[in-house]
Amino acid sequence: MFWKGHDRSEKGAVYGVNCPDQQGARTVWIADGQAADAAPVIDPEAVARRAVASMRLEPPAVASPRAAGTYVVGMPMWMWATPSPTTFGPATATAGGVTVTAKVTRVRWARGDGTTVTCHGPGTPYAKSRGKASSPDCGHLYERPSYTEPGGRFQGAATAAWTVTWIAAGRGDKAYSSRANRAYLRRRGIRCTIPEPVGSAPSSPTQPAGDGR
How many other C-beta atoms can be found within 10 angstroms of the C-beta atom of residue 41?
6
Q: What is the CA radius of gyration of the chain?
A: 29
Sign for the pseudo-dihedral over CA of 130, 133, 137, 142: positive
Q: Is 156 exposed, middle or buried (0-12, 13-18, 19+ CB in 10 A)?
A: buried
Decide if pLDDT at 79 tops 80: yes
User: How much is the pLDDT for 200?
Assistant: 38
Look at residue 32 in the predicted model and tell me its pLDDT: 59
**Distance (Å, rounded) from C-alpha 121 to C-alpha 107?**
7
pLDDT given for residue 78 in this prediction:
93
Which DSSP string do the residues of 27-89 spell out, in sequence order?
EEEEETTPPPPPPPPP-HHHHHHHHHHTS------EE-TTTTS-EETTSEEE-EE---TTTT-
Check residues 88 and 19 and name the one with the higher pLDDT: 88
Produce one character per residue of 143-153: b if its CB has 16 or more CB atoms within 10 Å, e if not: eebbbebeebb
Distance of CA 41 to the CA centre of its chain: 30
- HSE of 164, CA atoms in CB hemisphere, 13 A: 21
Digit-coded pLDDT (tens) for 108-149: 999 999 999 999 999 999 999 999 999 999 999 999 998 888
In sequence order, the β-bridge partners of residue 29 are 14
**Amino acid letter, residue 124:** T
**What pLDDT, in 10s, does the model give residues 156-184?**
888 888 888 888 765 333 344 444 445 55
- 153 falls in which pLDDT band (50, 70, 90)? confident
* Predicted local distance difference test score (pLDDT) of residue 210: 36
pTM, two decimals, is 0.65
The overall average pLDDT reported for the chain is 73
Residue 172 confidence (pLDDT): 30
88 has pLDDT over 60: yes
Q: Which of 205, 201, 68, 186 lies closest to 146 in space, CA to CA? A: 205
